[in-house]
Amino acid sequence: MVFIHGAWLHASSWEPWAEHFARRGFLTFTPGWPGEAPTARAVRASPEWLGDTGLEELTGHYASFVRSFETPPVIVGHSVGGLIAQHLIGMGLGQAAVAMAPSPLNGIAIPDSGDRPWRPAANDSGDGPVSLSPEQFRHLYANTGTAEEAGALFDRYVVPVSRRVLTDLAATDPNCHPRAVVDVDNADRGPLLLISGQEDQLVPDSATRAVCKLYGDSTAVTDLKQFADRGHSLTVDNGWRRVADHVLSWLDEQGVPPFQEEAEPALPIRAARNG
């Protein structure tokens, strides 16, 4: 299994998931974005590594990683990672994919709101990375938990995001970024599970439902699971295990077993392996 994190979270945010799935026999990897430092604290201290990284670079980075396996892996992504997961499964690079609170694709727009930092113009001016304040994280990401939990998650996992990524995500029809466009009619791809939190303030449940509808003409498996009491932090807050267990059950329903040791990657791309 390959876990892809999204904007404002560090790759270490997947560690509980990787351990949870490794205990059930999966070989798990949590590769960071290109050049990502090993800890969130290190990224916050020196965010210049983000550079001009955009959707093209991110998608190419993870496509190379997934192609390095002899056996196509399960691809699990959150937020921007959920968009990338859909792109990769649409390219036939994974056995199955799970996209949680995914950044919208194919021109689906998130309703404008002054407190949603999708567009760089809504934040500080300049050319550097875009950060969330602790208050923004609490309101937009971790709005279903306590202030104490939000503060702990912020300190442990939150990092700046490349301004280029936000610019790419902000482009809508007819100027969508090519890596935000997916062949939703592809009938040859593996099964896809979309997950939303109905209290999500960053990627509303309505946006994920709209994405699911786009897949309606494909005969490939596309399922949607909505969690009524969850926000955008559904992968890292105290309810993450409930979401993870649903993914495990869904994979079992699709007949996707844990992978064997021959799934070791053949390319020397940095990854955090668990189990």
Domain boundaries, the chain: 2-274
pLDDT range class, residue 171, cuts 50, 70, 90: confident
Q: What is the pLDDT of residues 240-259, one digit of tens each?
A: 999 999 999 999 999 998 86
Domain 2-274's class?
Answer: alpha beta
Q: Is the pLDDT score of 118 beyond 60?
A: no
Average pLDDT of the segment spanning 167-194: 89
Concatenated DSSP letters for 157-198?
HB--B-HHHHHHHH--TTS--GGG---TT-SSSPPEEEEEET
Average pLDDT of the segment spanning 38-67: 92
Q: Is the pLDDT score of 48 beyond 90?
A: no
pTM, two decimals, is 0.90
> How much is the pLDDT for 47?
86
> How much is the pLDDT for 125?
52
Q: Which residues contact 135 (CB under 8 A, 6 or more apart)?
A: none
Average pLDDT of the segment spanning 13-33: 96
Q: Which residues contact 132 (CB under 8 A, 6 or more apart)?
A: 8, 117, 140, 141, 154, 158
Q: What is the mean pLDDT of the chain?
A: 88
Q: Do residues 176 and 106 make contact, with C-beta atoms less than 8 angstroms apart?
A: yes
> How much is the pLDDT for 112?
61
> How much is the pLDDT for 267?
40
Q: Is the pLDDT score of 273 beyond 70?
A: no
> How much is the pLDDT for 176?
84
Q: Is the pLDDT score of 166 beyond 50?
A: yes
Q: What is the pLDDT of residues 88-114, one digit of tens each?
A: 999 999 999 999 999 999 988 776 655
Residue 249's CB is within 10 A of a number of other CB atoms, namely: 11
